[in-house]
Amino acid sequence: MSEPTVETDLVVIGAGPTGLFAAYYAGFRGHRVAVVDSLPELGGQITAMYPEKAILDVAGFPSVKGRDLVAGLVEQANTARPDYLLDRTASTLATDDDGVTVGLDDGTQVRAGAVVITAGIGKFSPRPLPAGEEWVGRGLEFFVPSFAPYAGKDVVIVGGGDSAFDWALHLEPIAATVTLVHRRDAFRAHERTVQQVRQTSVEILTKAQVSAVRGNGVVESVEITGPDGVHERPCQAVVAALGFVADLGPLQEWGIAVEKRHVVVGPSMQTNLPRVFAAGDITEYDGKVRLIAVGFGEAATAVNNATVAMDPSAKVFPGHSSEGS
């Protein structure tokens, strides 16, 4: 049986905010577009890690929840009628005079005129909680995509970074109790957030760790080992906010110039490979600033220049999208 093939004009690798805007802009330029992502849902890290978090650095929005930003970007991207190839990893990339071929880990081949890589920090996986590996999905989770399931529960959050404190702050009003456990007495989280949490009912245990998780089919309690010894605490939910391991994965084998785990691009967002562009947090160049707002501009630059790479008679700047068609 031959491998399935998807024919399109532009393939976007990465379905986070930058990738979704790139898909919209590809449609604005009149291209067919396919979007590939290793996650099963659109939105990248925002959907997976902090959909309820307030995002403050997007122009025009003094504050917008992550899930609301993603919803708007998806609605905008859908005007391009993209082919979404989710829960699949881009494994191979080959270029020739006529275009690019991206091979996915399920055997699908995506043939396009150009590619825009918007893979953020690459493929990421959460750091495990050794004491709770067998409880994942049975009361132990790594991310909090929705607060509602934690209502009225005793929640234990493990970690000392921004995600741990953000979730503690947001869960405190709806959970029965929230306990934050961290193995050190210093935190990586932003000091302002730490102070906000200290002003709530959240109990912070430092120089401590969750040494065991117990229950009958689902989590019912945890064992916490700290300076005062070992004690057991009832809880029905554990959030292991221990950070994640990012990996550029197969991309590193494609011949693309990489510097400090980021893809090197020029002013047109083109990589060292023909017809291969990049945008968003994954890119590196002098003066790079990693903000969502910057990624949007880079996506438009990448798509416009990819358009010329596919059709040398096209203009880099086609006019403003607000002018209509």
User: Which residues line the annotated binding site?
Assistant: 18, 37, 45, 50, 90, 124, 281, 322
- The number of C-alpha atoms within 13 Å of 217 and in the hemisphere containing its C-beta is 0
Strand partners, 92: 103
CA–CA dist 287, 144 (Å, integer): 33
User: Cβ distance 151 to 174 under 8 Å?
Assistant: yes
Q: What angle do CA 19, 20, 24 make, to 5 degrees?
A: 115
Helix axes 17-28, 66-77, angle to 10 degrees: 20
Known binding site for FAD: residues?
18, 37, 45, 50, 90, 124, 281, 322
Six-digit token string for 181: 């456990």
Six-digit token string for 144: 């909090």
CA–CA dist 22, 254 (Å, integer): 21
